[in-house]
Every structure is written in C-alpha cells, then in structure tokens.
C-alpha cells in the first residue's frame, strides 16, 4: 500500500512521519506522474490559496480530480479540507476547490493565527470510538454539509472530521496530535479500496 502526500506546499513532513510510523510506504506527489503509483493521497495543511495555484501550475488539478472521482481514497487536513470542498467562503476569487466533498468551508473560520487552539476530541466511527487532541491552526470552519457526509467528530457543534465515500477531511491537524488514530482510519479506507471491499467508484451527483 503506497500513500501519496501532496507536497506542493505546507505541512507534508509531519504526515510522512506518522504514516511511516504506521508502516505505510510514502510517495511525495509533485507531478502528475507521481499519481500513478499511489493507492491513497493525503492533502496536508498549509495555505489553500497557494496550493490551489500550484495544483494548476504543476498540471495536477485535472488528473487528481479524475483519480478522486474514480475512487482514490483521499484525506485532506485543514487547508487540504478547503482544497477538497465544494464551496469556499472567504477564499480568494481565483481559488478553485476540487469539489470532492459536499462541504461549505469558511477559511480562517475561527479567526487568525492568534486564535489557533487545541482541544480534546471524541471521534466516533461506527462502533469505534477514539480520543485525541485536536490542533486547530487558522482552521477552516465547516458551515454546512449535506446528508451524504458523515460527521465523525465535532467541536461545539461544528463538524471537524467528516467523510463522504472515499474522502476523509479534518479541519484540524491530526498529524500534530497525540494519537495516529485518524491516519489509521485513513489507512483502513485505503486497504478496503485496494482489496475491493469498498466501492467508491460512483460519480458524485
Ligand atoms: N488558513 C489556511 C488556508 O486558508 C489553512 C491553515 C492550515 O492549513 N493550518 O489555507
């Protein structure tokens, strides 16, 4: 199982540490060719406006969007969630999201850098329950989702960890927390997609 980490910009090194610690092999993704060997992709935190620009200049936008639509498991954190959203509030006018998950995300929805915070999270995924600290750094706020989207964790009523079919997304930074549980959840999604027990191939309406 080979996990790609989008490494155009942002916090990709910490994701690599966690994934390697869990025994995954990792490819840093910077060009369309890098997509060919991966079974899943992490889109890290960073600056979503810059990432959006670099998706275009690297030529990755269309091939990545096609892979996600055909079922590639993808895990976006913080700026990565914004990149995957179907609607961005307070984005830059030329910032185009990938429209991979039915979520309306407000950039810097909790305020500026100084309003960054940490809190304990309870994550419920079916019968499994996990606990970890959530690190929120200029985090987006989820303003709305549709019924297609599962809410796996919330803070004060705001969804902070969500999943729609092959797309998992967190408004916080799981790679900076005290447990690798969210990365483990993602690796399970990738394993299920690799062995065919998950059917993610439906195209979103
Ligand atoms: N505020 C950043 C953005 O809009 C995201 C911050 C982060 O990823 N830590 O892209």
Which pLDDT belongs to residue 205? Answer: 47
* Rounded CA separation 185/110 (Å): 26
Token duo for residue 176: 């900076």
pTM for this one? 0.95
Query: At which residue do the structure tokens 């919330």 appear?
Result: 154
Query: At which residue do the structure tokens 């950039």 appear?
Result: 107
Residue 31 burial by Cβ neighbours in a 10 Å radius (0-12, 13-18, 19+): exposed
Q: Catalytic site residue 194?
A: no
Residue 66, φ and ψ in degrees, nearest 5: -65, -45
* Rounded CA separation 34/54 (Å): 15
Which pLDDT belongs to residue 113? Answer: 78
Count how many domains the chain has. Answer: 1
- Residue 144 CA to ligand 1 centre (angstroms): 18
Query: What are the pLDDT digits (tens) for 160-199?
Result: 999 999 999 999 999 999 999 999 999 999 999 998 877 5
Q: Catalytic site residue 201?
A: no
3-state secondary structure of 148: coil
User: Beta-strand (E) ranges in 18-77?
Assistant: 25-29, 40-43, 74-77
Mean pLDDT for the stretch of residues 98-102: 98
Higher pLDDT among residues 202 and 132, named by residue: 132
- The preferred substitution site among 140, 141, 169, 175 for testing ligand 1, maximizing ligand atoms within 8 Å of CB, is 140
The residue range of the domain holding 181 is: 2-204
Q: Catalytic site residue 87?
A: no
What is the domain-level CATH number for residue 38? 3.40.50.880
pLDDT-derived band of residue 201, with 50, 70 and 90 as boundaries? low
For residue 108, give the nearest of 136, 131, 152, 138 by alpha carbon: 138
- Residue 165 CA to ligand 1 centre (angstroms): 24
- Residue 196 CA to ligand 1 centre (angstroms): 34
Answer yes or no: are the C-beta atoms of 19 and 73 closer than 8 Å.
Answer: no
Burial call 174-203: b when 16+ CB within 10 Å, e when fewer:
bbbbeebbbbebbbebbeebeeeebebeee
Catalytic residue, chosen from 78, 164, 181, 183, is: 78
> What's the first-to-final CA gap in the chain, in angstroms?
29
* Rounded CA separation 59/57 (Å): 5
């Amino acid at each position: 199982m080979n996990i790609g980490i989008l490494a155009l910009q942002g916090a990709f090194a910490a994701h690599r540490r966690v994934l390697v610690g869990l025994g995954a092999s990792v490819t840093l993704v910077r060009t369309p060719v890098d997509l060919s060997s991966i079974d899943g992709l992490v889109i890290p935190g960073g600056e979503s406006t810059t990432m959006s620009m670099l998706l275009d200049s690297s030529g990755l936008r269309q091939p990545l969007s096609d892979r996600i639509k055909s079922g590639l498991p993808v895990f976006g954190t913080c700026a990565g969630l914004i990149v995957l959203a179907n609607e961005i509030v307070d984005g830059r006018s030329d910032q185009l999201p990938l429209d991979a998950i039915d979520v309306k995300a407000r950039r810097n929805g909790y305020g500026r850098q100084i309003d960054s915070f940490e809190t304990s999270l309870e994550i419920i995924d079916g019968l499994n329950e996990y606990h970890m600290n959530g690190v929120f750094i200029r985090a987006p706020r989820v303003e709305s989702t549709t019924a297609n989207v599962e809410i796996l964790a919330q803070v004060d009523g705001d969804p902070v960890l969500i999943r729609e079919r092959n797309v998992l997304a967190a408004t916080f930074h799981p790679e900076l927390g005290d447990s690798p549980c969210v990365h483990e959840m993602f690796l399970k999604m990738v394993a299920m997609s690799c062995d065919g027990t998950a059917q993610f191939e439906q195209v979103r309406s």
